[in-house]
Chains A and B, each alone.
Chain A
Amino acid sequence: MGYDQDAKNAMDRLHSKLSPEAVEACAAEIIRLGPEALKLCLTFPEPLVFPATRHWIVSVALRMKQEDALPVLLEALAHPDWRIFQIARDALTKLGPEVKDSLVENLKTCEVPSGRVQTLYCLHRLADPFGPLAVGDGTLIAPIAAVAESDASPEVRVMAVRVLSWSEAHGAADTIVRALADPSEAVRLEAARAAGRLRLRDAVTGLIAMLGHADPEVRADVLYALDRIGDTSAAPAARDRLNDDDWYVRWTAAKALENLWEDANAGALEAAVDDDNPIVAIAAIETLARKAPEQASKALAQAAKSTSESVRKTADFYRNADKARR
């Protein structure tokens, strides 16, 4: 389990019994004592299992002088326990654009890779173009792209690529396409997902080349990226994956062919209606029925005889829909 439910319940009960005056006195004392007291709060993760306690420490950190709290929070980003680095991330995000330069500097100075990963996460929150902080103006793209291309740790490069795509940093498209050839497999996979998120057509050739990967989870993720990009030049490669050994890959392919639609998909999907795995068969039925209803009736009649109740129900649904359409 990720946390101890009994401890959480016990903290919940204790929290409900504390008087507001006692809570405020404790906060005031931490603020009076300064950074060392905040550091102490961010040293022992176990009592922080209760969310309200973590929120309270964030609120205390935000009431301290920024120059006192900032070094402690940046250091806490490198703590291995999520309860500690989550507090630091939340507080730094709430401090807002004022701490942007300190975070960028931390990417260079923090020696712990996980600390740089969490720093990137904070920058992602600040760079969120839908946030209220008004820094989603692209100014963070360059420093994050630099990390994606040159940080020594693959773990950090993965996070940088992820953050660029989450932040819809189309200005970093070239960085993401180049990351498809990163020496680290983890970075290449993240770049594939990022290319899908941003629907980067320049990535299609590189992604098709990755479809031969030995790991079916990678093949499925790459297919989904091609699905999102929607460039029909990938349709033949996706059709080939309807014969993949792995059912999850075949399911992903059957679904991808909807966004990668071309007429040649219909025949391949008709054959996939007979797939041994009902989830794949249903995906083939749905894609066919939604994209080529005129051609689907034979496949639907065939699916109506399936041994799988799920397949039969799906076929019935689309046969009825087709009748209504006609």
Chain B
Amino acid sequence: MLNDGPEIIDTHVHAQPDLTDTGVEPDADRLASVLSECRHPTRFLVSSSESSPLLLEKGNVAMMRALGRLVRAFPDRFIAALMVEPHDTDDACRAIELGVRDFGLRCVGEQCQYVHGYRTDGREILPVVQKAVDHDLAVSFHVANEAQAEGVARLAEKFPRGRFLAAHYAGGRSWRRGLRTVRDHPNVWVEIQAPETERTRGVIDAVGTSRITIGTDFFLRAGTDCRYRRGDDIADCLKALKLKDPDVERICSGNARELLRLEG
């Protein structure tokens, strides 16, 4: 790793079950190999996989402990985010409290409502969002269509003290409509997922440079062939758009620090 250029905080990384569910201690060499091709110093806001058997069968508290083990092993690389399965409200809220108390939890999400079977602004998620607000945590949502963007916009309006992160350009293929839906809510941040000039420019035009993060939806696996490069690629894309250096730095990590209330 060359550690060249501004730090990147990738706000959308999923540790796969081979890292979270096995109980095996995380391997420092493997992690080094994942990041070996990064030019920028890089940190991950890491949550679980939406299909983790540990999460689905043992629940949120069990997942928080497993994820916490990973994050604690590499505190300079990982920041904890907890993807909550919200149907068991008590378990979800206990897991958040555990994460805050023991593992430096900074974000609830990425909330994968489309997998776990609830509406973005449905009744299941409201106690979870309130718990996040109580603990000053951000809440990140999978947003890949108009309805999901509308759900985030509604939560942002109805929880004015909350901070929300809309993944996938706030709309996936429907990103223009998604951005139109969330742009007027100052407590919604939007993730740039890939080095795509048109969509990146569209996000900047919609919400400015101060509410954007890099969030690549990277699958962090234990295998030796797992390599992370996309953060660098997006940083290059930002430079190619001829953004000023402070704006590039903001998008690469400054906005994430503000969203996640990170000190360092």
Listed in ascending order, the chain A residues whose CB lies under 8 Å from chain B are: 1-2, 5, 9, 12-13, 16, 90, 93, 125, 128, 130-131, 166, 197, 224, 247-248, 251, 255, 278-279, 282-283, 286, 290, 309-310, 313, 317
Distance (Å) between the CB of A86 and the closest chain B CB? Answer: 9
Which residues of A sit under 8 angstroms from B146, Cβ to Cβ? Answer: 166
Which residues of A sit under 8 angstroms from B115, Cβ to Cβ? Answer: 1-2
B130 A278 Cβ-Cβ under 8 A? yes
Cβ of B244 < 8 Å from any Cβ of A?
no
**Interface segment, one of B4-12, B27-35, B153-161, B247-255:** B153-161
Which residues of B sit under 8 angstroms from A286, Cβ to Cβ? Answer: 160
User: Using a Cβ cutoff of 8 Å, how many contacts connect chains A and B?
Assistant: 48
Give Cα A212 to B134, complex, Å: 34
B134 A310 Cβ-Cβ under 8 A? yes
B49's partner among A5, A166, A313 (CB-CB below 8 A) is A5
Q: Which residue of B lies closest to A86 (CB)?
A: B173
Listed in ascending order, the chain B residues whose CB lies under 8 Å from chain A are: 16-17, 49, 51, 114-115, 123, 126-127, 130-131, 134, 146, 150, 154, 158, 160-161, 173-174, 176-177, 180, 219, 221, 225
Which residues of B sit under 8 angstroms from A5, Cβ to Cβ? Answer: 16-17, 49, 51
A9's partner among B131, B150, B174, B221 (CB-CB below 8 A) is B221
B177's partner among A13, A128, A255, A290 (CB-CB below 8 A) is A128
Q: Which residue of A lies closest to B56 (CB)?
A: A1
Q: Which residue of A lies closest to B225 (CB)?
A: A13
Q: Which residue of A lies closest to B180 (CB)?
A: A130
Give Cα A11 to B150, complex, Å: 33
Distance (Å) between the CB of B221 and the closest chain A CB? Answer: 7
Which residues of B sit under 8 angstroms from A290, Cβ to Cβ? Answer: 160
Which residues of B sit under 8 angstroms from A197, Cβ to Cβ? Answer: 150
Give Cα A251 to B127, complex, Å: 11
Which residues of B sit under 8 angstroms from A283, Cβ to Cβ? Answer: 158
A251 B126 Cβ-Cβ under 8 A? yes
B219 A279 Cβ-Cβ under 8 A? no
Q: Which residue of A lies closest to B114 (CB)?
A: A2
A90 B173 Cβ-Cβ under 8 A? yes
Which residues of A sit under 8 angstroms from B180, Cβ to Cβ? Answer: 130
Distance (Å) between the CB of B95 and the closest chain A CB? Answer: 16
Give Cα A154 to B13, complex, Å: 40
B-side interface mostly: helix
Which residues of A sit under 8 angstroms from B114, Cβ to Cβ? Answer: 2
4 tightest CB-CB pairs across the interface, nearest first? A248-B123, A130-B176, A1-B51, A255-B158
Distance (Å) between the CB of B48 and the closest chain A CB? Answer: 12
B126 A279 Cβ-Cβ under 8 A? yes
**Given contacts A9-B219, A128-B176, A309 and B134 within 8 Å (CB-CB):** yes
A279 B177 Cβ-Cβ under 8 A? no
B130's partner among A1, A12, A255, A279 (CB-CB below 8 A) is A279
Give Cα A317 to B126, complex, Å: 19
Give Cα A255 to B156, complex, Å: 12
B177 A130 Cβ-Cβ under 8 A? yes
Distance (Å) between the CB of A272 and the closest chain B CB? Answer: 15
Q: List 10 A-B contacts (CB under 8 A).
A: A5-B49, A5-B51, A16-B225, A128-B177, A130-B177, A166-B177, A247-B123, A248-B126, A286-B160, A310-B131
Distance (Å) between the CB of B9 and the closest chain A CB? Answer: 24
Distance (Å) between the CB of A276 and the closest chain B CB? Answer: 14
B176 A224 Cβ-Cβ under 8 A? no
Give Cα A1 to B56, complex, Å: 10
A282 B49 Cβ-Cβ under 8 A? no
Which residues of B sit under 8 angstroms from A131, Cβ to Cβ? Answer: 176
B130 A282 Cβ-Cβ under 8 A? yes
Which residues of B sit under 8 angstroms from A2, Cβ to Cβ? Answer: 114-115
Give Cα A9 to B173, complex, Å: 22
Other than the given A5-B51, A130-B180, A310-B134, 5 more pairs (CB < 8 A) read: A16-B225, A130-B176, A197-B150, A251-B126, A317-B161
Which residues of B sit under 8 angstroms from A255, Cβ to Cβ? Answer: 158
A313 B134 Cβ-Cβ under 8 A? yes
Give Cα A65 to B252, complex, Å: 42
Give Cα A191 to B126, complex, Å: 25
Which residues of A sit under 8 angstroms from B173, Cβ to Cβ? Answer: 90, 93, 125
Which residues of B sit under 8 angstroms from A248, Cβ to Cβ? Answer: 123, 126
A310 B221 Cβ-Cβ under 8 A? no
Which residues of B sit under 8 angstroms from A224, Cβ to Cβ? Answer: 154
Distance (Å) between the CB of A259 and the closest chain B CB? Answer: 9
Which residues of B sit under 8 angstroms from A251, Cβ to Cβ? Answer: 126
Which residues of B sit under 8 angstroms from A12, Cβ to Cβ? Answer: 219
Distance (Å) between the CB of B198 and the closest chain A CB? Answer: 8
Give Cα A286 to B114, complex, Å: 29
Q: Which residue of A lies closest to B115 (CB)?
A: A2
Give Cα A180 to B202, complex, Å: 35
Q: Which residue of B lies closest to A248 (CB)?
A: B123
B127 A279 Cβ-Cβ under 8 A? yes
